[in-house]
Amino acid sequence: MIVVTTPTGQIGREVLNGLLAAPDHTGGIRVIARDPDRLPARVRERVEVVRGSHADPATLKEACEGADRVFWLVPPSNQVPSIEGHFRAFTDPLREVIADQGIARVVSVSTLGRGVAKNAGLISASLAMDEGIMATGVHYRALCPPFLMENLLRQTEPIRTAGVISLSAEEDRVLRTCATRDIGAEAARLLLDATWTGQADVPTVGPDDLSPAGMAAVIGEVLGRTVRMQRSTSAEDKAMMLRYGASEAWAQGLADMVDALDEQGFYGAVAPSTPDVAPTGFRQWCEEVLRPAVAR
């Protein structure tokens, strides 16, 4: 039995689609969903659904009964009073379930930066989550993406109206990227394989070595117009988050992440992975995902 968290989320739904598409998977799939109605009917027909949050120990225990593999992702929540507390609220119940119910393998979504990132807000909290889970001794794979291409979908309006993308990164320094569908595909592959052992990071880095300015140029070429990159600061990002209702802790955590990425550069330090891990190139993603979104 495989348990999937965040099955309606950006990455979780890709994981679930990959599992359901596997022709040779004979085990069951169980999902934890706050709102099962958000699951497509075709999915609800083929999986077991446990309603609730995977931060709730009783819900997680119910979902993991008889399961041996778990896909794990801590969902973002910009209202929380503490980022570290938010990650612990999810991770502590998982640690208990691993100890009590015999979960053999966990595949999680983490981040690049282990051993490098310091005082990095959301990134530091994610890496601490990994350490807490690994301390249980469970077989573990942490998928470690850099900048998600899908982050740019939040900027469709300024791209459409002003020809601008805004990023808090140096214009000419390489910023590695990854498409969420590649993270989902790799997670599904690992979940379907009951033979791997031990604990390891799996960098999910796309094949490009573009800088933010280079990304803007590719977007412009795909859209057939001029698109430029405009650099923002961590203070501006924090102020924007606060205007949109984020808690002080979440906004500061985002600012700390931005500063760490800028000062420590760990989203540009890893060479592109093999195509077997993260095959989607940035231009391909722009053609298939961003251009239709901008055109809406």
The H or E element that residue 124 is part of is helix 122-134
Mean pLDDT, rounded, of the chain: 94
pLDDT tens per residue across span 240-283: 999 999 999 999 999 999 999 988 888 987 777 777 778 999 99
Mean pLDDT in residue range 97-115: 94
In the prediction, which pLDDT does 102 show?
86
Q: What is the mean pLDDT of residues 159-185?
A: 94
Tokens 């300015």 belong to residue: 213
> Is 2-146+179-205 assigned to CATH 3.40.50.720?
yes
What pLDDT score does 4 carry? 98
Return the pLDDT at 46. 92
Could you say which DSSP state residue 46 is in? Answer: T
Q: In what order do the strands lie in the sheet with 199-203?
A: 48-51, 29-33, 2-4, 69-72, 105-109, 139-144, 199-203
**Residues 162-168: what's their mean pLDDT?**
95
pLDDT in tens, 228-244: 999 999 999 999 999 99
pLDDT at 59: 97
CB atoms within 10 A of CB 230: 13
Task: Give the global pTM.
Answer: 0.94
The DSSP call for residue 287 is I
Whose CA is closest to 64, among 54, 77, 75, 79? 54
Question: How confident is the model at residue 268, as a pLDDT?
Answer: 87
| Predicted confidence (pLDDT) per residue in 115-162, tens digit | 888 999 999 999 999 999 999 999 999 999 999 999 999 999 999 999
Strand-strand pairing, 228-231 and 164-167: parallel
Q: How far apart are CA 129 and CA 94, in angstroms?
A: 10
Cα-based angle 111, 115, 121 (whole degrees, multiple of 5): 55
pLDDT at 167 over 80: yes
Q: Which pLDDT score, from 0 to 100, does residue 26 have?
A: 67
Q: Provide the pLDDT for residue 24.
A: 74
List pLDDT tens digits, range 40-55: 999 999 999 999 999 9
pLDDT of residue 12 exceeding 70, the answer is yes
Give the pair of three-digit tokens for residue 98: 């691993």
